[in-house]
Amino acid sequence: MSLILDALKKAEKDRQKNGGGLPSISPIIPDKKISRTRMILWVAGLVAALGVFAYLRFFKKEGVSLIPRPIAAVQKPSQSQDPESLKTEALTLYRENRFEESLLLWEKLALLLPAEAEIYNNQGLTLKKLGKREEARKTYQKALALKQNYPEALNNMGVLLLSEGNRAEAKLHFQKAVESDKNYADPYFNLALIYEQEGNVKMALMAYDQFLAASPEIDEALRQKIRQKKIRLEQE
């Protein structure tokens, strides 16, 4: 008996066992809801994958940070090499109380103009504002080494000495300052304060008068305060 005949007989027996018909097979009908859900999940997965790819390609690769970075508080010093422009900028920064930035420019100017006393005097003023008294003293000394009778540097050194309680030496600096320039008002005012501390009313009154005479354009409120102080001193 051939193998083909055996296979046919086996198939006939299977047909008869199932009631004489074709084997019962339940067709798979796709569920519309399930199909739609699968489609949504597939699209969402595709979008997520594209998002990851875009981040790796355009952000991480280029090192772009999404966290804002702080801006430096102190700006870089001016790149100008013109001394006059640098002086103007340094003075402007000083008047705006931007002492750190102003100091950077005075230091740059000291390198450009190492023999100019004015640079060291202004550098000393800025250092004093920053609380760097010893450094301020050294720069005043540099200014006076270049120009012994420099009234502004003499006055500023005197103010530094007076703030440290060294009245006698401060007084000598103020006196040298007025001898160098009788029209320079500031040391007269500082001498008046010292004479008051010494109890020398006559010299204090004279120094206040010299200050007022040498500074006709001072603020009127300050002028009135000095006049009132003179009246009190005269009544003592």
Backbone torsions φ then ψ of 17, nearest 5 degrees: -65, -30
Q: Determine the CATH number of domain 77-147.
A: 1.25.40.10
Q: Where in the chain is the domain with CATH 1.25.40.10?
A: 77-147, 171-236
Q: What would the pLDDT profile of 82-140 be if each residue is shown by its tens digit?
A: 999 999 999 999 999 999 999 999 999 999 999 999 999 999 999 999 999 999 999 99
pTM: 0.66
Rounded CA-CA distance 8/156 in Å is 124
Handedness of CA 106, 108, 111, 113 (dihedral sign): negative
Q: Residue 17 above 80 pLDDT?
A: no
Structure tokens given for 107: 């230091």
22 or 43, higher pLDDT:
43
CATH architecture of the region 171-236 = Alpha Horseshoe (1.25)
- Encoded amino acid at 25, one letter: I
pLDDT at 3: 40
- Are residues 163 and 151 in contact, defined by beta-carbon separation less than 8 angstroms? no
Task: Report the pLDDT averaged over residues 191-211.
Answer: 96
Quickly state the pLDDT bin for 81 (edges 50, 70, 90): confident
| The predicted structure's pLDDT at residue 37 | 53
Per-residue pLDDT, 144 = 98
Provide the pLDDT for residue 109: 97
| pLDDT over 70 (residue 164) | yes
User: Please, are residues 148 and 167 in contact by the beta-carbon 8 Å criterion?
Assistant: no
End-to-end CA distance of the chain: 151
In one-letter notation, the amino acid at residue 56 is L
Could you give the CA distance from residue 42 to residue 33 in angstroms, rounded to a whole number? 14
What average pLDDT does the structure give for the chain? Answer: 79
Residue 135, both tokens:
């450094």
| Contact (Cβ atoms closer than 8 angstroms) between residue 124 and residue 140 | yes
The mean per-residue pLDDT over the stretch 20-37 comes to 39
